[in-house]
């Protein structure tokens, strides 16, 4: 009996030593590590992850992994986790929430595996907040950042060529030539101007210029956009239905937010070639500004709506086999602008019935404006 107890004690001691080595190995890693089960619950964490998020090990273990991510990115994080649990590797940028409310930008790698027959995800992350804004974009945006870099180079080169062609055509037009030649020159100039607008769109996508925020009211931005587009809406046979509720003034880049509203309304108009109804709603839900822009147009099929915010994907322009001008960058740019305001943009659509695009932005942005922010006041 004594030998049996000694064997049991030795077995337990070996298990304890193995667990200690296992914990020491995890804690020796210079990257944060979480093991997440199929229910999204953290079952193991190392010292680096605890220190990075300023949490005790006991507080992290047993909590939901999604709770470590800031609210504005939680839906995207949960989607990446679902993909990983289904067997796919993941690599993306996220913002973790530290104790006390501070934020930490990290590069996250998700690796699926099985333990005792249950699917698990090993989540490794590294702090990238020390990098410059351009480098951090590569982690947060992944492949689209590389596309943006290519776009910027191509757009600059193409713009230089267009400027030379347009300059020569304008000089020739001013010399006074026959009507047929003058007409051809005018066509060249108009085509170059259209090309310049395309390159400007490419540069807008590639640069993602810094925010210049000021205290403005979103309803005023939305209404100003509708007034600027009033003639276009009338010509298209589109009736506008407004549903505005009280919204407090917010720290926003009114130019960029105005660009988002303009693009969304223009898309809605293009989706109603025979005219229709444009519904514009603006209000607050919980702690978010919510803007919904709905049309009664042709709608978007489910396969396309999942990809509609990707660059160079759309229903307009030569890339999509359409005669309607476009490059599939408008919604991608809109998503970048809204994301830079810590918000998100989504769409719902039914073919032949219409589409609704929803923009959500936290009413309270941050305590201190980031670099490039104008803290001046005044409504827009």
When mean pLDDT is compared across 224-238, 272-286, 303-317, 349-363, the lowest value belongs to 303-317
CA–CA gap between residue 166 and residue 172 (Å, rounded): 10
Q: Is the pLDDT confidence value at 149 over 60?
A: no
Does the domain formed by 31-137 have CATH 3.40.50.10860?
Answer: no
pLDDT (tens digit, 9 = 90+) per residue, 89-121?
777 778 888 877 788 888 888 888 888 788 888
Q: Is the pLDDT confidence value at 70 over 50?
A: yes
- Mean of per-residue pLDDT scores for the chain: 76
- CATH number of the structural domain 214-362: 3.30.565.10
Binned at pLDDT 50, 70 and 90, residue 225 comes out as very high
CA–CA gap between residue 233 and residue 240 (Å, rounded): 8
Q: Is the pLDDT confidence value at 83 over 50?
A: yes
pLDDT of residue 323: 47
pLDDT (tens digit, 9 = 90+) per residue, 323-338?
444 445 567 778 878 8
Q: Is the pLDDT confidence value at 315 over 90?
A: no
CA–CA gap between residue 89 and residue 298 (Å, rounded): 36
Question: Residue written as tokens 């005669």?
Answer: 323
Letter string b/e over residues 160-183, b meaning 16 or more CB atoms within 10 A of that residue's CB: eebeeebeebeebbeeeeeeeeee
Question: Residue written as tokens 């070639």?
Answer: 273
Q: What is the CA radius of gyration of the chain?
A: 27
CA–CA gap between residue 4 and residue 331 (Å, rounded): 71
Collapsing DSSP to helix, strand or coil, 293 comes out as strand
When mean pLDDT is compared across 29-38, 67-76, 134-143, 252-261, the lowest value belongs to 134-143
Q: Is the pLDDT confidence value at 48 over 90?
A: no
Binned at pLDDT 50, 70 and 90, residue 370 comes out as very low
Q: Is the pLDDT confidence value at 27 over 80?
A: no
Q: Which residues 6+ apart lie within 8 Å of 271 measured at CB?
A: 295, 297, 298, 299, 354, 355
224: part of which helix (H) or strand (E)?
Answer: helix 218-228
What percent of the chain clears pLDDT 70, i.e. is strictly above it? 66
Mean predicted confidence (pLDDT) in 236-265: 92
Q: Is the pLDDT confidence value at 76 over 80?
A: yes
Mean predicted confidence (pLDDT) in 162-179: 67
Q: Measuring CA to CA, which residue among 282, 290, 293 is closest to residue 246?
A: 282
Q: Is the pLDDT confidence value at 141 over 80?
A: no
Rounded to two decimals, the pTM is: 0.48
CA–CA gap between residue 299 and residue 265 (Å, rounded): 14
pLDDT of residue 286: 86
């Amino acid at each position: 009996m004594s030998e049996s107890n000694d064997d049991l004690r030795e077995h337990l001691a070996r298990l304890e030593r193995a667990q200690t080595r296992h914990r020491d190995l995890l804690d020796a890693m210079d990257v944060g590590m979480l093991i997440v089960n199929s229910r999204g619950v953290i079952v193991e964490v190392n010292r680096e992850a605890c220190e990075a998020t300023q949490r005790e090990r006991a507080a992290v273990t047993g909590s939901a992994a999604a709770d470590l991510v800031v609210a504005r990115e939680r839906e995207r994080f949960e989607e990446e986790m679902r993909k990983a649990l289904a067997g796919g590797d993941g690599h993306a940028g996220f913002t973790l929430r530290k104790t006390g409310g501070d934020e930490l930008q990290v590069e996250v790698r998700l690796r699926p595996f099985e333990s005792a027959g249950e699917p698990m995800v090993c989540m490794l992350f590294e702090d990238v907040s020390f990098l410059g804004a351009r480098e951090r974009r590569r982690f947060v945006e992944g492949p689209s950042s590389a596309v943006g870099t290519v776009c910027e180079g191509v757009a600059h080169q193409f713009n230089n060529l267009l400027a030379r062609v347009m300059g020569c055509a304008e000089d020739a037009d001013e010399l006074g030539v026959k009507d047929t030649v003058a007409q051809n020159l005018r066509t060249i100039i108009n085509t170059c101007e259209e090309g310049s607008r395309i390159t400007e769109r490419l540069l807008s996508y590639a640069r993602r210029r810094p925010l210049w925020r000021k205290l403005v009211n979103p309803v005023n931005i939305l209404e100003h956009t509708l007034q600027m587009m009033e003639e276009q809406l009338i010509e298209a046979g589109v009736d506008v239905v407004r549903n505005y509720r009280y919204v407090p003034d917010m720290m926003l880049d009114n130019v960029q937010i105005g660009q988002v509203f303009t693009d969304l309304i223009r898309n809605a108009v293009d989706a109603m070639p025979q005219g229709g109804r444009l519904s514009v709603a603006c209000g607050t839900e919980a702690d978010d500004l919510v803007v919904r822009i709905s049309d009664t147009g042709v709608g978007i099929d489910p396969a396309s709506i999942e990809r509609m915010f990707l660059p160079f994907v759309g229903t307009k322009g030569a890339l999509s086999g359409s005669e309607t001008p476009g490059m599939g960058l408008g919604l991608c740019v809109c998503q970048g602008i809204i994301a830079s305001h810590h918000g998100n943009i989504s769409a719902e659509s039914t073919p032949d019935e219409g589409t609704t695009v929803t923009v959500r932005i936290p009413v309270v942005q941050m305590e201190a404006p980031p670099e490039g922010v104008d803290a001046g006041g005044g409504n827009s």
